Amino acid sequence: MISDAIGFEKKFRLKEDKKFEQYKIMLPKLRENDVMIKISAISISTLDTQIRQTIKGAKKPYILGFGGVGIITRLGSSNSRLNVGDRVLYVNKVGKYGSYSNFQIADVRSVVKLPDAFPTDEAAAFSYSFFLAFEVLFKQLQLIPQPKKNQGNLLILNTSDGLGATIIQLAKWAGLKVAATINKNNSEIWIKNMGADVVFSQSNHLSRELTNAEMTPVDYVINLDTEKEKSFDHLAEFKDTAKVLLLHFIKKKSKNFDPDYLHFYCEEFLEESFATEEGINYSRRVMELLVYLWEKNQLKSILTAQLNGFSDKNFYGAHKLIENNPNFRHLVLIN
């Protein structure tokens, strides 16, 4: 089947005046465990913009997008849970057949049916941000993925996008106290609304502010901005008392990081997650938890902006908005 999609031939920066383009792509044939999904909404974040600027290889045109929400239009032969017409939530790897497209093929074992009460735009906003946040907290930092089963203080540096907002909510659900830092352009009200116990400006007085807020000792640190050298200024003071995780959206030439720090690469994780049956089933279980927490009113919306229509112009505008406005680093496109 042929699908209309939005992509590009070579990596580019927005200031180079290059654009997304419209393509017609031939989708792969449905295998036994596949479903075809007509895409209704997808999430776009800093991860998308960084991949656009660095991606290389033979998969051309590049069609970005890590899943979202859609309607099943066709089923492979192996299926007992889902039906044509079901509205579903899913996460996928990026590449030649990403979700910047009208239709996408996904593995049925990773797909979750959405309850009627879960709005399409809200579900799409969470999608891979929830998947990444769950991995960071409960696999990388080895917290217990159950409500109120953990203790300690979590410090999140450079908290601005939907991923940071999701980490805050999951950490609070798991029992941690959360301190979040923002720069002067971020919305303190929005971060507090996500559940952070305290919100600080990214300043040189962080230790004093944490002490005054009774958030010491810090047990866990997550740095969400590894692109800026200045974002490492605060890390050394926590290395002896806390697990420190540096989150990288993509893998670049390594810097001189302290070997005691944990490193998590979002793009690499998403790619590897769908290479094995175990990873595929794991993604479904995480999405099932997302749906459960939403139904129990234990999650708040992380949607910061929305654009309507899958067009090259709207995808360009979405990437531009994310890169230029720190309060809109996570948005949804409605198809």
The alpha-helical segments, DSSP class H, found in the chain are: 46-54, 120-135, 162-174, 188-193, 206-212, 266-273, 277-295, 312-324
Q: What would the pLDDT profile of 107-126 be if each residue is shown by its tens digit?
A: 999 999 999 999 999 999 99
Residue 148 has pLDDT above 90, yes or no: yes
Q: Please report which confidence band the pLDDT of residue 239 belongs to, taking 50, 70 and 90 as the band edges.
A: confident
Give me the amino acid identity at 144: I
SS3 176: coil
Nearest to 188 by CA among 204, 178, 199, 196: 199
259 or 278, which is more confident:
278
So what's the pLDDT on residue 75? 92
What is the rounded average pLDDT for all residues in the chain?
Answer: 89
Segment 287-327, tens digit of pLDDT: 999 999 999 999 999 998 899 999 999 999 999 998 888 77
Buried b (16+ CB within 10 A) or exposed e, 46-55: bbbbbbbeeb
Structure tokens at 189: 């009200």
Identify the structural domains of the chain with CATH numbers, from first to last.
2-114+304-334 (3.90.180.10), 130-267 (3.40.50.720)
Residue 256 has pLDDT above 70, yes or no: no
pLDDT of 56 reads: 81
Q: What is the pLDDT of residue 329?
A: 74
Q: Does 277 score more than 70 pLDDT?
A: yes
The two three-digit tokens of residue 161, written as one number: 């996008």
Report the pLDDT value the prediction gives residue 159, as an integer from 0 to 100: 84
Count other C-beta atoms under 10 Å from residue 326's C-beta.
17
Whole-prediction pTM value?
A: 0.93
Mean pLDDT for the stretch of residues 54-61: 80
pLDDT-derived band at 151 (thresholds 50, 70, 90) equals very high
171 vs 235: CA distance, rounded Å = 20
**DSSP string of 58-107, one letter each residue:** S--SBB---EEEEEEEEE-S--SS--TT-EEEEE---BTT-SSBSEEEEE
pLDDT in tens, 193-232: 999 999 988 766 788 889 999 999 999 999 987 665 455 6
Distances (CA, A) of 250 to 9, 19, 38, 62, 167: 19, 21, 28, 16, 18
Pairing of strands 67-75, 2-7: unpaired
In this model, does residue 183 exceed pLDDT 80?
A: no
The pLDDT, as a whole number, for residue 164 is 92
